[in-house]
Amino acid sequence: MSTILPEAAVSASDVPVKPARRTADLVAAGLLTPDAAAAVESVTRRYAVSLTPYVVEQAAQSPGGPVYAQYIPTPEEAYTAPGENGDPIGDDVHSPVKGIVHRYPDRVLLKPLHACAVYCRFCFRREMVGPGGDALTADELAAALAYVREHPAVWEVVVTGGDPFLLAPRRLAEIVQGLAAMGHVGVVRFHSRVPMADPARVTAELVAALRAPGLATWVAVHVNHADELTPETTGALARLADAGIPLVSQTVLLKGINDSAAALENLFRGLVRHRVKPYYLHHPDLAPGTSHFRPTLDEGRALVRSLRGTVSGLCQPTYVLDIPGGHGKAPAAGEWVSPTAEGWEAADFRNQKHIYKD
Q: What is the pTM of this model?
A: 0.91
In order along its 358 residues, the chain shows pLDDT tens digits of: 444 555 544 444 556 789 999 999 999 999 999 999 999 999 999 999 999 999 999 999 999 999 999 999 999 999 999 999 999 888 999 999 999 999 999 999 999 999 999 999 999 888 878 776 678 999 999 999 999 999 999 999 999 989 999 999 999 999 999 999 999 999 999 999 999 999 999 999 999 999 999 999 999 999 999 999 999 999 999 999 999 999 999 999 999 999 999 999 999 999 999 999 999 999 999 999 999 999 999 999 999 989 988 899 999 999 999 999 899 999 998 878 889 998 999 988 788 999 999 8
DSSP label of 339: E
The DSSP string of 255-298 is TTTT-SHHHHHHHHHHHHHTTEEEEEEEPPP--TT-GGG---HH
Could you give the CA distance from residue 78 to residue 80 in angstroms, rounded to a whole number?
7
DSSP class per residue in 139-184:
HHHHHHHHHHHT-TT--EEEE-SS-GGGS-HHHHHHHHHHHHTSTT
Instruction: Give residue limits of the domains in the chain.
Output: 23-78, 92-292
Q: Give, in order, the Cα–Cα distances in Å from 55 to each of 21, 26, 195.
A: 12, 11, 11
Share of the chain above pLDDT 70, in %: 95
3-state secondary structure of 39: helix
The amino acid that residue 214 corresponds to is G
**Any catalytic annotation for residue 322?**
yes
Question: Using the 8-state DSSP alphabet, how is residue 62 labeled?
Answer: S
Q: What is the DSSP letter of 214?
A: T
The residue annotated as part of the active site, out of 111, 119, 123, 193, is 123
Task: Give me the catalytic one of 107, 201, 275, 277.
Answer: 107
350 as an active site residue: the answer is: no
pLDDT at 133: 61
Calpha distance 282→72 (Å, rounded)? 21
Given the residues 25, 71, 119, 125, the one annotated as active site: 125
Of 3.20.20.70, 3.30.70.1230, 3.10.180.10, 3.50.50.60, the CATH number of 92-292 is 3.20.20.70
User: Which pLDDT score, from 0 to 100, does residue 15 have?
Assistant: 60
| Residue 61: its H or E element | helix 53-61
Assess whether 103 carries a catalytic annotation. Answer: yes
